Structures are given as C-alpha cells and as structure tokens.
A and B are shown apart, each in its own frame.
Chain A
Amino acid sequence: MKTPIRAQPAADAVAAVIGTLARDFGDRAQTGNAIREQHGHGEGLADAALPDVVVFPQSNEEVAGIVRLCHAARVPVIAFGVGTSLEGHVAALYGGVCIDTSQMNRVLEVNTADLDCRVQAGVTREQVNAELKDTGLFFPIDPGANASIGGMASTRASGTNAVRYGTMRENVLGLTVVTADGRIIRTGGRARKSSAGYDLTRLFVGAEGTLGVITEVQLRLYGLPEAVSAAVCQFPDLRNAVDTVINAMQMGIPVARIELLDALQMRACIEYSKLDGYASLPTLLFEFHGSEAGVREQAQMMEAISKEHGGSAFQWATQPEDRSRLWKSRHNAYYAALALAPGKQAFATDACVPISRLADCLLETRAELDREGVLAPIVGHVGDGNFHVVVLFDPASAAERAKAEDIARRVSLRAIAMGGTCTGEHGIGLHKLEALVAEHGEAVDLMRTIKRALDPLDIMNPGKTVPGARQPIADSAC
C-alpha cells in the first residue's frame, strides 16, 4: 500500500508553537539537540526522528493546553512515557511536539476495598507496586521494562504473566484522555462493568497515541498471592518444551507465568546474567501463585507433565531474592541477546498464535532461522502463544539489515497465516504497518475511518499504527 506523503508542518507554525511553549512552560519546554535525540526513538532500532520540542506537563489541563495549541497550528503531537517501546512508536516522523509525561508521576488514589487505583500516565509499573507495598495488593502486568503506565496502556502491553492476569486490555478500567482537539474526556470508570456507550476505554488502549493522549489510568489491582514459587526446567529439544506448555494449557493449570527460552537465548542469558547450574538447552521458567496448597498442587502437576516430555527435575526458587534473580535474567533477555554479538542491532518480532499452532509456528521459525544462518534467539510468554525472535544484524551492512527485516516480516506473516497476529504486545508503531493490513484486511479501512473521525487533522502521532491514515494536510481543512 502506498502511503500518501504528508508535508512537514509549516516551519513558522512550529516556531510559533515553540515560542508559546517556551513562554508558558519555561524550562519545562526544551529544544536542545541531546534531549530531542533522546526522545526521537525507543529501545528498538536506533533510527531516530526528532521532535522539534519536548514539553514536560504536570496536569491534564497542561496537556490539553499543549494539544489545543498544536491543533490550532496543525503541528504533530507525540506522547512519550519512558521510551522503552520497541516498534518506533515515539519517532517524530513529521517533527512536532513531544509530550513527555515523566512529570505526571503521581499515584492519585488507591481504593483497597474496590481493588483499583488511579495514576497519572507517567507513573511507572515499578512505582505503582512500590506505592502498593503496604496494602497487600499488586499490579501484575509486567512487560519486563520499567515502562510507564500510560505507555503500557497505549501499546496494550502484556508480559510474562498475561497467561494468568491478562493484558492491559483486561486491566485498564478507565482513562482520562486528551482528545485531538484538546478536550479532556474520561472513559470507563470505577464500576467493574458497564454496557453504557461504546467501549472508548479499549479503543484508546492500544491506539498508540494516534487517537488522543492518555493522561490518567484507572488500574485493576489484585491481592498478593499467599504463596509464590518459581521453577526452572530444561528440555532436550524445543518441541518437547513447547508440547509441555500446550499440555499444561490444555489441562487448565493456572500457572502465573510460563516463559520459554530456546537454546541460543539460554546461552545468552547464562553468559549475560552469570547464571550457574544451567545448560544451553531449551528452558521453561514457571511461576505459581495461590494458596500454599494450591501452589504445591499446581507445581506437582506441572512437573509431572514436564517429565513426560523429557524435562529435567525442577530447580526451585522459593526465596524472593532467588526468584528476582531468575526473572531479572529473563527480563534482560533482550540485552543478553544483543550481547551475543556486540555492535549489532536487533529486530525484535512479536508474534502471537493460537496455542494449538504454537509448536508448528515455533519449530518452523527456528528451522528457518537456522537455514538462513542468522543469529536470532527466541524467547516467549508461551502460555498465551506469544513469542519473540530477536534477529541480530550489523547496522553497517545494508544487506544484513535487509535480510533481518525480511526474516522479521516472514515471522509476522507466518503467525498471521496460522490465525495469529503480528504483535502480541509491542504494538504496530512504525514497523508493522504492512503486517497489519495482511492481518486485518477490510477492518483496516474501519480503523482508518475511526482515526479520521477522532483526529481529522491527523496531528496525533502521525504515520503510526494505521497505514495510510494520513491525508495530505490541505485536504483536511475544517
């Protein structure tokens, strides 16, 4: 699909916006090169596209004021959390104003009786859990990075324990959003269910900042489980590891997390995180939550299934610090993969398939990677069918990059052909526009129409998420 080219916003319009922001925000509006560079890319590829100015608002009203200003001047608005996105969501393709939410970092309320809390968008996942420490509650969604809640909502993030607790889709109860014309709206609410009106909450969750800027999030919380234990099990080959997962899901064992690391990824983690006592073999990491009796029972069932598939005896981590070390090594898997070949960069794919196709998809993918001779470890939150291939390439070699890109594309298309998706949790951003069309066909037209209905001037994170949403700026005059 050819995307119509949109002109950069008029230079004098941008200059006027910068002038007004500098006047109103003082040193909370920055135009220095270093800070613009830092806000021009996420953690994925190093390709950057710089915003013209970075602003640090502190309230809904300030965000609304910035968006109104940009709306009047037709200057793009890009919301920025902590910049851990992997799909180029924050790149300012057409320049404009980057709204950095890091100073919107207050937990506004915690309702222990209702198991929910309300936070500003810039609050990070770890900060939420630190504030909840004395309440006996926790917020389970854990994408690895210490991302901002606003960013996690915008990309519909999930993570290692989505198999038990769901993704941001299930755990955002309501939002405050600044719309493209700078109005403040509240969606959803504290009530546990509602069938009033369209589900705007879930429309903004996962919209990647293309429909509005999320400024506050109402989160669902959970009681801390009475008992938690974690175990590691290693397998002779990938198929047996995957079949173990499929079996467990089929039996309905409520495992809180199941993570797969293939042999190459395990080698990377052993080297990077200095793990002792493990071999470079396909490995599953489990975590069980529940009552003492429940956890023991789940673990026994899981170990029995693993043994049937040739798994090693479970190595246990029941102490919190052992568990933290184990999960830290998993969370660092991306950096561990990069460390396999210093100097290289990575395409991290994010396929998710129905659990019944997981073995086919993973094994075909692994075989292809080996055939192509690329260095590409696989990790996955396999309990929900989601896995990542980290395809390493030398940024100096155009050929290597093209090959890596091609392999990443094939992973997406294979997942889609198996009834899956090109993104389980990272989002579309910049890099998966083409795959979205392959996945959704006609429905992409509807997404485009919705984008135009809610952001007719196309100023909200333009060029992302919905291919060809853009119209030439002259057509969209109001």
Chain B
Amino acid sequence: MLDSNVHAQLAAILPPAALLVAPEQTRPYECDGLTLFRALPAAVVLPETEAQVVAILKACHAARIPVVARGAGTGLSGGALPDPAGIVLSLAKFKRIVSIDALARTAVVQPGVRNLAISEAAAAYGLYYAPDPSSQIACTIGGNVAENAGGVHCLKYGLTVHNLRRVRGVLITGEIVEFGGDALDNAGYDLLALMTGSEGLLAVMTEITVKLTPKPQLAQVVLAAFDDVEKAGAAVAAIIGAGIIPAGLEMMDQPATRAVEQFVHADYPLDAAAVLLVESDGTPEEVGAEIEEIRRLLTEAGATGLRVSKDEAQRLLLWSGRKAAFPAVGRISPDYYCMDGTIPRKALPRVLRAIAQWSREFELRCANVFHAGDGNLHPLILFDANKPGESEKTVAFGDRILELCIEVGGTVTGEHGVGVEKLNSMCVQFAPEELARFHGIKEAFDAYRLLNPGKAVPTLHRCAEMGRMRVHHGALPHPDLPRF
C-alpha cells in the first residue's frame, strides 16, 4: 500500500491516468522477461516530462520510497522486478526521437524509444544504431543503457557503452545530471561508462545521445555446418586468431537449429551438430576478400557444408533463425531458462563439453545459442515448471554453468545484467574488496539505496550467507564478516 501522503503528492504531479495503484492495473508490471520472480509494486507512475520525473523522485526521496525504473520490460535478469514497498517508474511515454544529426552521426532520443526505431529513423541518412539485441523490436534504449546490452553485431561495433555519447538523467535527490558529451572524449571521471550497465541503481535516465554508424555498402553471411560442436568452437578461435573481426559470429547447436527451423524455416542443415553464422560487411572489395578468407578457415576447421548469402533477402533469412531462437525454443518447451555467461573464447570447447555432460546428468534438454565471437553463451535450459522439482534442478544446472564461466576466467553476465537473478553468482565472481567499491559508488549516488534496491550488487551479508551454504573443501569465504 502506498502511503496516503505520498499518494497525494504523486497525484498532484501526474494526471490520474498516469498513476496506477489498483492491483489489476499494476499487474502487468509485476515482472520483466525473467518470469520466475514476481511482485506487485505499491504504485506505477508513467511520467511524460523530465519535470515530472524530478518531482516524483524528490517525493520518493523525502518519503524514503524505493523506485524501480522500467523500459519495455524485456530484461532477462529481473532488473525491473518491482519492490513491493515502492513504485515502478515507467518510461514508456518518453518515446520521442528528439533529433538526428547526420553529420555528427548522432541521435538524441528519449529512453522509452525502441532500439529498432532509432535505426528506422536514421535509415533516411544511410545510418543505423549498431547494437542489436535480439529483442530490438521491443526493447527500449533506456533499458539497453541500463543493462549495457549487446547483440549479434557487437563483436565488431561494440556494446551499448561503445555507442553512447551522452546520458541525461535525474538522481534520486531530484538533481539533473549529464554524463558524457557530444565530443569523442570527455574530461574527468568516466561517469557515462559508470551509468552504462548500472541497472537503474544510480539515476533515472531522461535523454540519451547515441552514436550512429554508416550502413555498410554490402554485407554477406556465411552459414557453416559442423558434425561436431567442438570443431565449430575451434573454427571460431581460428577466425579470430587470424585477425578477422567479423560483423557477426554466431553459433547454434542442433537442439537450437531444430527448434528454429520448425518456427521460421531459415533453411538450416538439420543434420549438423552445430552451425556457425559468420558475417562480413564493408565495401564490396573488402567483403569479397574477407569472405574468401573465412571460407578457407572454415573448411580447414572441418566444416561439412558452406553456404554464402547471395542477396539481402537470403542474408536476412539466415539471420532470422538466430534472432528467433528464443521464441522458437519457447514453442518446443513449456518453460526455458536463459543463461548469459561470457568466457575467454579459447575455453569454449571445454565449457560446451561440460554443458552437454550436465544436460545428461540433470536430464534437462539444453539448446545453445552463442555470440561465439565474443564468447558470450546463452544456454537455454528447457524445463517444465509444472513438474515437481524441475525448476530447482534448472536453477542448479544454471548455477553450475555460471560457476564454470567464472572458473575459466569469464563473467556471470555478458549482456543481460545481474538483476535479482545472478546476485549469488556475483559473490563468486567478485571479492569482498571489489563489492565494497561497488557499494561505495552506490552510496555516492544514492545514500538511502532507494533506486532499484536489492538488485545488481549483493550485500556482503548475502555473500557470507551463501558462502556458508557452499563451503568448498572447508575453506570459508569472507571469514572476516559477521555471521548470523
């Protein structure tokens, strides 16, 4: 229940239709793309001006009410999971493309603008916004910044953090701040990078300037089939090791290609244990030379079949399978759990072997789609939440995968963020000293921890508790912490 005093203040800031408190109105906001976790917020607010955001945050700050910012709700780690005692601040009405500067190759947009809408608007100038998470038709740029989202083309063109110029936002105290600027570099601490991937814990964004990239004259994709997953992994290493940075380098295993084929009919070879999609873009000369070299490397690595897209329609068809992988898997299993670890590329064969073995041990199917070029794994564990014990088994399987990612020198999240999903894994990845720095930074922005509380960075107590449950070889992590 929302405090009546705060309710009155919010009602004075917002029109009635922009303040939702009845459960039937707030129900659509109870979770994001990670549906394992749900909670009803005390209220949902839908401001449409920056002044309203400032007023809302000031009111919440004064009353110590938690605030969870939300874009399209496509996040996969529970970053937009409401706090039952707090409000959800939806940026759905901030959906204006403010300006496009073709010469500077930048676009100024509001946070609720959909990722793909930016590229559509920039197309008239021969430009596009490069990071392309698979959910790009729905996800918003504000959410992309909050999670430092990637996509199939970020191998060559970088993550969200590499494609931003400036972010304007509001601190929990109501102060308006701007990070970054219109020039290539900025003076002082890199607060723009700090904001990127901060999962709504530091500020609420109100305006974002993104970099735009010229559309390449030509793009071609090679589809390569392999009779063995590890050979496909080795082919990835061979391509990168040869100094080629393809525009996209994606891998799918057989369970994934079979699911996809039924759904979008992308004409994938179904007898292959794994397929690679390798894209080259640039001028026709460059693409021609690079595709030749890629074909040679794939053949040497033992590809059993190669196909090169002949025109744009064929290229898009080949990619449609990869982009539709998640919904396709959703069709063949009642539930699936998507993981998001990143590992050094050369550890790929070892990790794939382990996942295959655990899949047999846990008796859970697992379809693998990877941003193979940058080592970002998305194992999709297929399960049925209605079968007793299956959810728990799934989470245990997932934890094993993430712990292995860290063991081989990787990280627990490549692009989906920590949210609530990976809080425990953060305790494995980061030492208490490092988590203490994170908390110090949070404190500097938001002393009362009101913005998206309980997400992204676990408390040291939580890590200590988790450590107690998993004492390995008698070694107790964080021995200096107080225990319960």
Q: Do A and B come from one complex?
A: yes
User: Which residues on A are within 8 Å of B, measured CB to CB?
Assistant: 111-115, 136-137, 156, 158, 162, 166-167, 169-170, 179, 183-187, 189-200, 202-203, 205-207, 211, 222-224, 246, 249-252, 254, 290-294, 296-297, 352-356, 384-386, 415, 419-425, 427-428, 432, 435-436, 439-447, 449-450, 452-454, 465-466
| Apart from the given pairs A185-B434, A193-B414, A386-B184, 11 other A-B contacts in the complex at a CB distance below 8 Å | A190-B409, A191-B376, A192-B374, A195-B199, A197-B434, A200-B438, A385-B183, A421-B183, A421-B186, A440-B186, A447-B188
Asked if B444 and A444 make an inter-chain contact with CB atoms under 8 angstroms apart, the answer reads no
For the complex of A and B, list the 3 residue pairs with the smallest distance between their C-beta atoms, beginning with the closest.
Answer: A223-B243, A252-B214, A202-B193
B66: min CB distance to chain A, Å: 19
CA distance in complex: A183, B440 (Å): 15
Instruction: Select from chain A the residue with minimum beta-carbon distance to B193.
Output: A202
Task: Write the B178-201 contact mask toward A (1 if CB under 8 angstroms, else 0).
Answer: 110111111111110110111100
Instruction: Select from chain B the residue with minimum beta-carbon distance to A447.
Output: B189
Known A-B contacts A191-B409, A195-B147, A202-B190; the reply to A162 vs B175 at CB < 8 A is no
A300: min CB distance to chain B, Å: 11
CA distance in complex: A252, B282 (Å): 10
Q: List 16 A-B contacts (CB under 8 A).
A: A137-B243, A184-B433, A192-B376, A193-B159, A195-B417, A199-B148, A199-B190, A200-B434, A200-B438, A355-B103, A386-B183, A419-B182, A423-B187, A428-B187, A454-B437, A466-B189
Check B394 for interface membership: any CB of A closer than 8 A: no
CA distance in complex: A453, B446 (Å): 12
Interface residue stretch chosen among B88-96, B301-309, B339-347: B339-347
CA distance in complex: A189, B375 (Å): 13
- Measured between beta carbons, the chain B residues less than 8 angstroms from A384 are 184-185
- Measured between beta carbons, the chain A residues less than 8 angstroms from B244 are 223
Asked if B422 and A114 make an inter-chain contact with CB atoms under 8 angstroms apart, the answer reads no
Check B457 for interface membership: any CB of A closer than 8 A: yes
CA distance in complex: A156, B193 (Å): 13
B449: min CB distance to chain A, Å: 14
Asked if B182 and A198 make an inter-chain contact with CB atoms under 8 angstroms apart, the answer reads no
B312: min CB distance to chain A, Å: 19
Interface residue stretch chosen among B31-39, B48-56, B283-291, B318-326: B283-291
Asked if B410 and A190 make an inter-chain contact with CB atoms under 8 angstroms apart, the answer reads yes
Task: Write the B372-411 contact mask toward A (1 if CB under 8 angstroms, else 0).
Answer: 0111100000000000000000000000000000000111
Asked if A189 and B409 make an inter-chain contact with CB atoms under 8 angstroms apart, the answer reads yes
Instruction: Select from chain A the residue with minimum beta-carbon distance to B160.
Output: A195
B360: min CB distance to chain A, Å: 27
Asked if B429 and A196 make an inter-chain contact with CB atoms under 8 angstroms apart, the answer reads yes
Asked if B289 and A443 make an inter-chain contact with CB atoms under 8 angstroms apart, the answer reads no
- Measured between beta carbons, the chain B residues less than 8 angstroms from A453 are 440-441, 443-444
Interface residue stretch chosen among B6-14, B234-242, B330-338, B470-478: B234-242
Known A-B contacts A421-B187, A428-B187; the reply to A452 vs B444 at CB < 8 A is yes
Asked if A196 and B188 make an inter-chain contact with CB atoms under 8 angstroms apart, the answer reads no
Check B176 for interface membership: any CB of A closer than 8 A: yes
Known A-B contacts A185-B431, A194-B414, A446-B444; the reply to A113 vs B237 at CB < 8 A is yes
Check B418 for interface membership: any CB of A closer than 8 A: yes
For A442, give its contact among B106, B154, B176, B237 (CB under 8 Å).
Answer: B176
- Measured between beta carbons, the chain A residues less than 8 angstroms from B429 are 196-197
The winner among A137, A296, A424 for most chain B CB atoms within 10 A is: A424
Known A-B contacts A196-B413, A297-B285; the reply to A450 vs B148 at CB < 8 A is no
User: Which residues on B are within 8 Å of A, measured CB to CB?
Assistant: 101-106, 147-150, 154-155, 158-159, 161-162, 171, 175-179, 181-191, 193-194, 196-199, 202, 213-214, 237, 240-245, 282-283, 285-286, 288-290, 342-346, 373-376, 409-418, 422, 426, 429-431, 433-435, 437-438, 440-445, 456-457
Asked if A294 and B283 make an inter-chain contact with CB atoms under 8 angstroms apart, the answer reads yes
- Measured between beta carbons, the chain A residues less than 8 angstroms from B437 are 179, 185, 200, 454
CA distance in complex: A466, B36 (Å): 44
CA distance in complex: A15, B104 (Å): 55
Asked if A197 and B426 make an inter-chain contact with CB atoms under 8 angstroms apart, the answer reads yes
Asked if A198 and B194 make an inter-chain contact with CB atoms under 8 angstroms apart, the answer reads yes
For B422, give its contact among A137, A196, A386 (CB under 8 Å).
Answer: A196
Asked if A206 and B190 make an inter-chain contact with CB atoms under 8 angstroms apart, the answer reads yes
- Measured between beta carbons, the chain B residues less than 8 angstroms from A449 are 444-445
Asked if A193 and B374 make an inter-chain contact with CB atoms under 8 angstroms apart, the answer reads yes
Asked if B415 and A195 make an inter-chain contact with CB atoms under 8 angstroms apart, the answer reads yes
- Measured between beta carbons, the chain A residues less than 8 angstroms from B288 are 293
Asked if A450 and B444 make an inter-chain contact with CB atoms under 8 angstroms apart, the answer reads yes
CA distance in complex: A422, B106 (Å): 20
Asked if B433 and A183 make an inter-chain contact with CB atoms under 8 angstroms apart, the answer reads yes
For B181, give its contact among A186, A419, A425 (CB under 8 Å).
Answer: A419
Asked if A356 and B101 make an inter-chain contact with CB atoms under 8 angstroms apart, the answer reads yes
A315: min CB distance to chain B, Å: 24
A1: min CB distance to chain B, Å: 14
B465: min CB distance to chain A, Å: 19
Instruction: Select from chain A the residue with minimum beta-carbon distance to B106.
Output: A354
Asked if B184 and A162 make an inter-chain contact with CB atoms under 8 angstroms apart, the answer reads yes
- Measured between beta carbons, the chain B residues less than 8 angstroms from A423 are 185, 187
- Measured between beta carbons, the chain B residues less than 8 angstroms from A254 are 282
Asked if A440 and B184 make an inter-chain contact with CB atoms under 8 angstroms apart, the answer reads no
B156: min CB distance to chain A, Å: 11
CA distance in complex: A251, B102 (Å): 10
B78: min CB distance to chain A, Å: 13
For A450, give its contact among B104, B147, B418, B441 (CB under 8 Å).
Answer: B441
- Measured between beta carbons, the chain A residues less than 8 angstroms from B285 are 291, 293-294, 296-297
CA distance in complex: A250, B413 (Å): 35
- Measured between beta carbons, the chain B residues less than 8 angstroms from A158 are 184-185
Asked if A169 and B344 make an inter-chain contact with CB atoms under 8 angstroms apart, the answer reads no
Known A-B contacts A191-B342, A196-B413, A246-B103; the reply to A415 vs B183 at CB < 8 A is yes
CA distance in complex: A236, B167 (Å): 40
Asked if B411 and A443 make an inter-chain contact with CB atoms under 8 angstroms apart, the answer reads no
Instruction: Select from chain B the residue with minimum beta-carbon distance to A193.
Output: B414
Instruction: Select from chain B the residue with minimum beta-carbon distance to A466.
Output: B188
For B148, give its contact among A195, A224, A354, A385 (CB under 8 Å).
Answer: A195
Asked if B198 and A198 make an inter-chain contact with CB atoms under 8 angstroms apart, the answer reads yes
Known A-B contacts A170-B158, A293-B289; the reply to A222 vs B243 at CB < 8 A is yes
The winner among B184, B241, B413, B443 for most chain A CB atoms within 10 A is: B184
Asked if A443 and B185 make an inter-chain contact with CB atoms under 8 angstroms apart, the answer reads no
CA distance in complex: A173, B410 (Å): 12
For B103, give its contact among A250, A422, A444 (CB under 8 Å).
Answer: A250
Known A-B contacts A179-B433, A355-B104; the reply to A465 vs B183 at CB < 8 A is no
Known A-B contacts A137-B243, A424-B185, A466-B189; the reply to A291 vs B104 at CB < 8 A is no
A71: min CB distance to chain B, Å: 14
Asked if A450 and B189 make an inter-chain contact with CB atoms under 8 angstroms apart, the answer reads yes
Asked if A439 and B189 make an inter-chain contact with CB atoms under 8 angstroms apart, the answer reads no
Asked if B418 and A196 make an inter-chain contact with CB atoms under 8 angstroms apart, the answer reads yes
Asked if B410 and A156 make an inter-chain contact with CB atoms under 8 angstroms apart, the answer reads no
For A421, give its contact among B154, B185, B373, B422 (CB under 8 Å).
Answer: B185
- Measured between beta carbons, the chain B residues less than 8 angstroms from A187 are 434
Instruction: Select from chain A the residue with minimum beta-carbon distance to B185.
Output: A424
Asked if A352 and B376 make an inter-chain contact with CB atoms under 8 angstroms apart, the answer reads no
- Measured between beta carbons, the chain B residues less than 8 angstroms from A444 are 188
Asked if A205 and B444 make an inter-chain contact with CB atoms under 8 angstroms apart, the answer reads no
Asked if A291 and B286 make an inter-chain contact with CB atoms under 8 angstroms apart, the answer reads yes
- Measured between beta carbons, the chain A residues less than 8 angstroms from B175 are 442, 445
Known A-B contacts A191-B410, A197-B430, A356-B103; the reply to A465 vs B286 at CB < 8 A is no
Instruction: Select from chain A the residue with minimum beta-carbon distance to B158.
Output: A170
- Measured between beta carbons, the chain B residues less than 8 angstroms from A246 are 103
- Measured between beta carbons, the chain A residues less than 8 angstroms from B158 are 170
The winner among A197, A292, A354, A355 for most chain B CB atoms within 10 A is: A197
Known A-B contacts A352-B183, A425-B185; the reply to A294 vs B191 at CB < 8 A is no
Instruction: Select from chain B the residue with minimum beta-carbon distance to A251.
Output: B214
Asked if A156 and B413 make an inter-chain contact with CB atoms under 8 angstroms apart, the answer reads no
Asked if A454 and B440 make an inter-chain contact with CB atoms under 8 angstroms apart, the answer reads yes
- Measured between beta carbons, the chain B residues less than 8 angstroms from A195 are 147-149, 197, 199, 413-418
Asked if B441 and A198 make an inter-chain contact with CB atoms under 8 angstroms apart, the answer reads yes
